[in-house]
Amino acid sequence: MIKNIVFDLGNVLIEYNPQKFIIRNVKEENFTKFNEVVFKSKEWLDLDRGILEYNRAVEIFSEKLPEERESIKYLFDNSIQDVLFPIEENLELLSNLKRKGYKLYILSNFHREAYLEIAKKCNFDRYFDGGVISYDVNLLKPEEEIYRTLLKKYDLLEKETLFIDDTLNNVEKASELGIETIHLTEKSKLKEELERVLKMKI
């Protein structure tokens, strides 16, 4: 029986859409390069892992793409705007799940500053019983240790825990550990998928 529900954030509860930022803030001729240099970079993962500070990231990205120095600075000065957008209909499900007695947790790869902003904006403290965020433990999904850290920290049993993520590798690792999973390929299907697995209306 599922007692605990663990949510990834990006494209589950929060729309992560770097392309919107690029289109609105980057010169068209630099769209592809900006995406590769910033959002697809090792440094971006290092930010998630909590081993790189924003100011140093700005320096590194600006050295690689000096013509976009201002847009890079804007991105890190305004870490929520134009990249992260609350998925309101999915966030609304959290209060219903709490009322039904489920314990709710977060397991997400996220930059420190961006996470603190979005957690405040979306009132995560109101819904969640805890969580493990990558920057805080210097681990990334799908590394096995980050899942074990969450389970151990909150004394969760794998067979009583449901994990929801939009990335297949992350879901597969959780499944290997005996955790029930939902691979959420469409963010609009969260309610439907939860009702399918939990076998109840939410």
C-alpha distances in angstroms, 131 versus 5, 35, 49, 128, 139?
A: 11, 29, 15, 8, 13
For residue 158, pLDDT over 90 is answered with: yes
Across the range 180-199, mean pLDDT stands at 97
Closest CA to 105 of 194, 7, 13: 7
C-alpha distances in angstroms, 123 versus 76, 160, 164?
A: 22, 26, 20
For residue 191, pLDDT over 90 is answered with: yes
147 CA to centre of own chain: 14
Closest CA to 180 of 201, 47, 42, 193: 193
Confidence band (pLDDT; 50, 70, 90) for 31? very high
C-alpha distances in angstroms, 121 versus 54, 78, 104, 107?
A: 20, 13, 18, 18
For residue 78, pLDDT over 90 is answered with: no
Q: What is the 3-state secondary structure (H, E, C) of 17-36?
A: CHHHHHHHHCCHHHHHHHHH
Token pair belonging to 71: 């847009």
Residue 44 CA neighbour count, 13 Å, CB half:
12
Confidence band (pLDDT; 50, 70, 90) for 82? confident
Contact 102, 6 (CB under 8 A): no
Q: Running DSSP on this structure, what letter comes out for residue 122?
A: T
Token pair belonging to 194: 């939860």
Please report the pLDDT score of residue 79 as a whole number.
Answer: 67
Q: What is the pTM of this model?
A: 0.95
